[in-house]
Amino acid sequence: MQTFLRRLLPFLLVFGIALPAAARLDRSSVLVETASGGSHRFEVELALTPQDQARGLMYRDHLDPASGMLFLYDRPQPASFWMRNTLIPLDIIFIAADGRIVNIAAEARPLDETPLPSDGPILGVLEIGGGLAAKLGIRPGDRVVHSAFEKGK
């Protein structure tokens, strides 16, 4: 399938046809383990490049409950997100290098440009549907399990 897409890409670019954002992003799975003993798996798109991170979940009108987007950085750093051009409410979960949830910007409002900062250096951000973190009992101090956070343990 990838070979087919590589052959098709020059044609699509010449005629100005873009592939959907989801088709360009790698996918992975993350597990959130709560202090209360719960565990919740999300199938996520990986936003690894600055371009993918700038776009994030903008312009989407739906996000499945077990889906999300995982933003990963090269090194721990403070981060701030906003909801410009984002049409659906999101929970923005800021994750330290060891996988610990630092803070959650819960139910971020669509199209709002108010900065939503991390409460310290983070290595990743998990975006899921707005209100889902509270519904599932996900809180700061809980853990996100993904290979990106294993080296920080």
H/E stretch holding 33 reads strand 27-33
Across the range 146-150, mean pLDDT stands at 92
pTM: 0.83
Q: What is the pLDDT of residues 49-95, one digit of tens each?
A: 999 999 999 999 999 999 999 999 999 999 999 999 999 999 999 99
CB-CB contact of 84 with 113 (8 Å): yes
- Res 25: pLDDT: 74
Reply yes or no on whether the pLDDT at 153 is more than 70.
no
Q: What whole-number distance in Å separates Cα of residue 129 and Cα of residue 123?
A: 20
Q: What whole-number distance in Å separates Cα of residue 125 and Cα of residue 36?
A: 22
Write out the two tokens for 69. Answer: 């987007």
H/E stretch holding 148 reads helix 147-150
Residue-range domains of the chain with CATH: 20-150 (2.60.120.1140)
Reply yes or no on whether the pLDDT at 148 is more than 90.
yes
- Res 9: pLDDT: 42
Q: What whole-number distance in Å separates Cα of residue 89 and Cα of residue 15?
A: 34
